[in-house]
Structure 1
Amino acid sequence: MAQTGAVEEGNLAEVIATKENKASETGGKRKHEGDEPERSGRAKKKRGGGGKKLRPGERYVPPPQKRNPGVSFNKEHFDETSYYFEGGLRKVRPYFFDFKGYCKGRWIGKTLLEVFKSEFRAESIDYYQSAVKEGRIRLNEAPVEDLTSVTLRNNDLMRNTVHRHEPPVVGTPIEVLVDDGEVLVVDKPASIPVHPCGRFRHNTVIFILGKERGISGLHTIHRLDRLTSGVLLFARTLEMSKKLDQLVRDRKLEKEYVCRVDGEFPEGELVCEEPILVVSFKVGLCRVDPKGKECRTVFQRLSYNGSTSVVRCLPLTGRTHQIRVHLQYLGFPILNDPIYRSSAWGPHRGKGGLVGKSDEEVLKALVEEHRSKESLHLLDIPEDGLCGASKKSNAQGQQDIKFGSSNSLLNEVSQDTSSTEIDPTANLNSGLPTESQCVVPTELHQNQKGATKSQHTSQGTRDHLCSECKLVRPDPTEKELVMYLHALRYKGPDFEYSTRLPDWAKEDWSEVE
């Protein structure tokens, strides 16, 4: 279901870089010209943070860095790694990646060992101790020598370098439908997220457009779920972004979807107005609930082939998974929906809101079902997803993180209908650290151990500490990566963008076993 997005990019990188270069040049010039004696014979004493004298044994913590939300993803980010295509899939070569995050309030006074033990369980303590020896864990940019030797303080900046593996997506090219300098409209293939989130960074629409077409500085107007295909709008300018965003807020942007559902959908127009509640931020799991937000979706059957129906969907509101949840409630879930057609909802599969289980029981059953099928990737959660920390917010409204986990949770929940800026140092609705940068630390090349154990291959780097490098995962099938839900048309007062009808939505289509 398309969600009014919480993402947008500015393009101030060049301006900032120019200012920094000028400042650097000016500073250098003064240094060489400066032959005059100092006006004051007194040299300022170096003190700790905030001008305070450090007590004996006290550790200096630098002030937090100012974030610049206007800097967009650029070529430096796009060049972090590369793609290759295999078996109809787009694959990202594994790469080293730096996760950065500031010390959380609940970590203050604890050692790194205590924090890793309690919150970062994606890897073992042995792994983190080995990472320390390799120089991959840093505190305030200094290598950590021992996990037990440092007690965390407020504003401590933690950096963890990991070997990152991204899941494959379909190899279908992203087709540009319109690019007129103000609006960019694409036909998004299923399985590709709109922007970096969770385990995805380079296998996203934003990065693919940047890497393959040199396009950056896009303003995202709405979102599509990762498994959903179809019309996706971006604004090229801030002015157009504000204009389109206002249309979304005023509900003047008409959206039309098509889907294929189980069974014989009723003829005629069918309206569902059941409120929808988000019950799990880890999976983006939702259900009909009186405490939920008001919703309205209009459905109309287009065809029926004897076992499944193609249905036209007009969501008049923009809630998370709105079309999928309403179809489940009506008893006609999308044919290959990995969440809302699951048997985890009980014998009625959630029809009429009949579940008979608590939200926690549904979530657990859903995870167990996909774990047994080795298809947890369809839920976008890692193997240890249920034991990780739940989504919370700190004072700055940023999400708590699984610091440095290569299996960070993907949260496809968007609760904001406004269009805001994409921050390349922040990962929206994803559980990733608030600041991240792709860096291969110097130690990995200069340190004797790192230099001998980090290998470069035709399919990317291999890392002796990386658990993913030791696994051989079967590739997902195209059937698993394509959900039968497609954004067919978006229409405003003076524009209309549409795509071709997917093959699975055609009247003569039949499912291949």
Structure 2
Amino acid sequence: MALVPSSPVDRYPPKPPDKSPFQEPPPVVITPCDPWPPPYYLEDGLRKVKPYHFTYNTYCKERWRGRGILDIFASEFRDRPAEYYEQAIIEGRVVVNGKPVPSTETIIKNGDVISHTLHRHEPPSTAKPIGIVHEDEDIIVIDKPAGLPVHPAGRYNFNSIIEILRADRGYGWNPLPCNRLDRLTSGIMFIGKHRQAAEDMSAQIRERTVKKEYITRVVGEFPEGEIVCEKPILQISPKLGLNRVRANGKEAKTVFKRLAYYPPKDDREELAHHTGERNGMAWKNLRGYSIVRCFPITGRTHQLRVHLQFLGHPISNDPIYANQRVFGPELGRGHSEDENDEDIVTRLSRMGKEEVADAVAYHDEMVEAYNKRKAEKMTGETCSICDTALYSDPGVHELGIYLHARRYRCEAGRWDYETGLPDWALPPPGMDGPTESTQETDPLGVDLKKLGLDDGTTDGEVPATKTDERVEISAGT
């Protein structure tokens, strides 16, 4: 029987023809350059995207009605200076309803479509592939790599979970995330293959019938036993992604349980501990690091990162909450007042521009000297096409933090998905320690009942009789 050669499979199938019965919008408000396949390339362990032209299309918002177009861009879009938007309007890169506007003072009306075409530069992300934990006809359970946002947002478009999955499976496929992880966080996520599956899984997560376990690596020797933090969390700066413990914040509850503690290997650390040679940095008295299991009962933004910082054991490579240049020598331990929030926001805004984010882990042997120097920051150079300020490539240590969504389990027992421990949670060379998370029948359920927290409450419904006494004790350990 003769062998017949087959045609190679196109990994990126062509875009399907548009069969929409609706009238097409003006051609100028359709992205003039929608690269397919996405212009990915791999280099130095990073997934990069070649710069490309892209058009943002936005319908007039209610608060924009009756305002001048330059006023709208200068106040609402802060990615670039007002001078850039003025020039873009004059040169026709910003148009309204597909047509150039006669003046930067042109008034925007209800129903107008504003289109802005620009040369887009995306930051590199990790080249690590998206892992598949489970897949059936309804759901894909993925192991999300750290350093990738879920949705296109801000500076990220093609370098996002959604677009990478679409590029891998075809332009016409629409992956539907059922939960969300921060860009810097890795671990389990659920992707619906069709709308009904995504809605069903999302409903389970919203109704709090899904229990979660995260693994993290924190500064110092974390206390043993179940440590409960019930401090409310307030968003301080949406633009910078900063959240803090505040009395007027939203209720938040987390249970922590130490999995392992690894003391420092260097004898010099032991000597410095006894002699007090810590260069004025209080966090350096937190010797070694701990691997901690985290059981979030509520789901506030940055909840685990903020609670761990408040307890005095921040995630050791967290560029925000373990940054001594932002929070000072105490790293914000036990802090719940707002008198210095303005200074913190100012210092944090300099990270990546004037300064490199300086998490405490970067001071020790966990980050090689080469990667300490290699970090994403403004280079002082600009793009020859669009004058966009250019950034250097991020270091490997900047692509994620030591926080991993390890296990999601249905309370009714219908499904249970988990990953192994990430490399950074395994015992360091020459030390003994757990290589997998402690196996218990229902660790979160047992913890909640023991601690009197298994009361069926949801976000924002903490009983008035609850106190924070255990937290105050924990913060002082």
Alignment TM-score, normalising by the size of structure 1: 0.64
In structure 2, what is the equivalent of residue 154 of structure 1? 110
In the alignment, structure 1 residue 256 sits paired with structure 2 residue 176: no
- Which position in structure 1 is the counterpart of 2:305? 324
Distance of aligned partners of 1:337 and 1:122 in 2 relative to their CA distance in 1, 3 Å threshold? closer
Q: Which amino acid aligns with 2:402?
A: Y
Per the alignment, residue 240 of structure 1 pairs with: 197
- Give the corresponding residue for 1:289: 246
Instruction: Report what 2:392 is aligned to.
Output: 474
Q: What whole-Å deviation, never above 9, does each CA across 1:458-492 have from its counterpart, x for those lacking one?
A: xxxx9755123xx5532111111120001111111
Give the secondary structure class of the aligned counterpart of 1:245: helix
Name the counterpart of 2:21. 20
**Aligned equivalents of 1:267, 1:329: Cα separation in 2:** 17
Distance 2:248 2:155 in 1: 32
Distance 1:196 1:280 in 2: 20
Query: Using the alignment, how far apart are the partners of 2:293 and 2:38 within structure 1?
Result: 40
**Aligned-pair distance for 1:115?**
4.2
Give the direction of change, closer, same or farther, for the CA distance of 1:268–1:214 in structure 2 (3 Å limit): same
Alpha-carbon contact 1:255-1:489 (below 8 Å) kept: yes
Distance 1:122 1:504, change over 3 A: closer
Q: CA deviation at 1:358?
A: 3.5
Question: Residues 184 and 401 of structure 2 are in contact (CA less than 8 Å); yes or no, is this contact kept in structure 1?
Answer: yes
Q: Could you say which residue in structure 2 is the equivalent of 1:205?
A: 161
Q: Which digits, 9 at most, give the CA deviation of each residue in 1:142-164, with x for residues without a partner? A: 1234435x333333322110000
User: In 2, Cα distance between the equivalents of 1:508 and 1:185?
Assistant: 29
Alpha-carbon distance between aligned partners in 1 of 2:305 and 2:165, rounded to the nearest angstrom = 28
**What is the alpha-carbon distance in structure 1 between the residues aligned to residue 74 and residue 296 of structure 2?**
45
Distance 1:509 1:156, change over 3 A: farther
2:233 to 272, 276, 297: 276
1:163 aligns with 2:119: yes
For the structure 1 residues 129 and 350, does the alpha-carbon distance in structure 2 shift closer, same or farther, using more than 3 Å as the test?
closer
Contact 2:192–2:198 at 8 Å: present in 1 too?
A: yes
Residues 154/80 of structure 1: CA separation in 2 closer, same or farther (3 Å cut)? farther
Q: Which residue of 2 aligns with 1:361?
A: 343
What SS is found at the alignment partner of 1:208?
helix
Superposed CA offset, 1:389-441 (max 9, x none): xxxxxxxxxxxxxxxxxxxxxxxxxxxxxxxxxxxxxxxxxxxxxxxxxxxxx
Alpha-carbon distance in structure 1 between the residues aligned to 2:95 and 2:398: 39
What letter matches 1:192 in structure 2?
A: L
Q: Deviations over 1:212-235 (max 9, x none)?
A: 233833332111100001111112
SS, match of residue 351 in structure 1: coil
Q: List per-residue Cα deviations over 1:289-317 (Å, max 9, x = no partner).
A: 22222222111111111101111111111
Which amino acid in 2 is paired with 1:234? I
Deviation at 1:123, TM superposition (A): 4.0
SS for the counterpart of 1:290 is: coil
Q: Could you say if the C-alpha distance between residues 373 and 464 of structure 1 is closer, same or farther in structure 2, counting changes exceeding 3 Å?
A: closer
Q: Which amino acid aligns with 2:414?
A: D
Q: Which runs of 5 or more residues in structure 2 are unaligned? A: 1-14, 264-287, 359-381, 431-477
- Give the secondary-structure state (helix, strand or coil) at the position aligned to 1:162: strand
My pick for the range that moved more, 223-232 or 344-353, is 344-353
CA distance in 2, matches of 1:172, 1:206: 15
Distance 1:156 1:92 in 2: 32
Report Cα offsets for 1:3-56 as digits up to 9, x if no partner.
Answer: xxxxxxxxxx98x944529x99xxxxxxxxxxxxxxxxxxxxxxxxxxxxxxxx
Matched residue, 2:135: 179
Q: Which residue in the other structure is 1:335 paired with? A: 316
Q: Could you say what the CA RMSD is over the residues aligned between the two structures, in angstroms?
A: 3.1
In structure 2, the partner of 1:372 is 354
- Mapping of 1:59-208 within 5 angstroms? 79=36, 81-120=38-77, 122-123=79-80, 127-128=84-85, 130-132=87-89, 134-148=91-105, 150-208=106-164
TM-score, normalised via structure 2 length: 0.68
**The residue matched to 2:391 in structure 1 has which SS?**
coil
Contact kept? 1:78, 1:202, Cα under 8 Å? no
- Read off the aligned partner of 2:258 and give its amino acid letter: R
- Secondary structure, aligned partner of 1:96: strand
Offset, 1:500: 2.1
Amino acid at match of 2:294: C
1:179 & 1:328 partners in 2: Cα distance? Answer: 36
CA distance in structure 2 between the aligned counterparts of 1:121 and 1:277, rounded to whole angstroms? 23
Question: How many residues are paired up?
Answer: 360
Structure 1 window deviating more from structure 2 (113-122 vs 252-261): it is 113-122
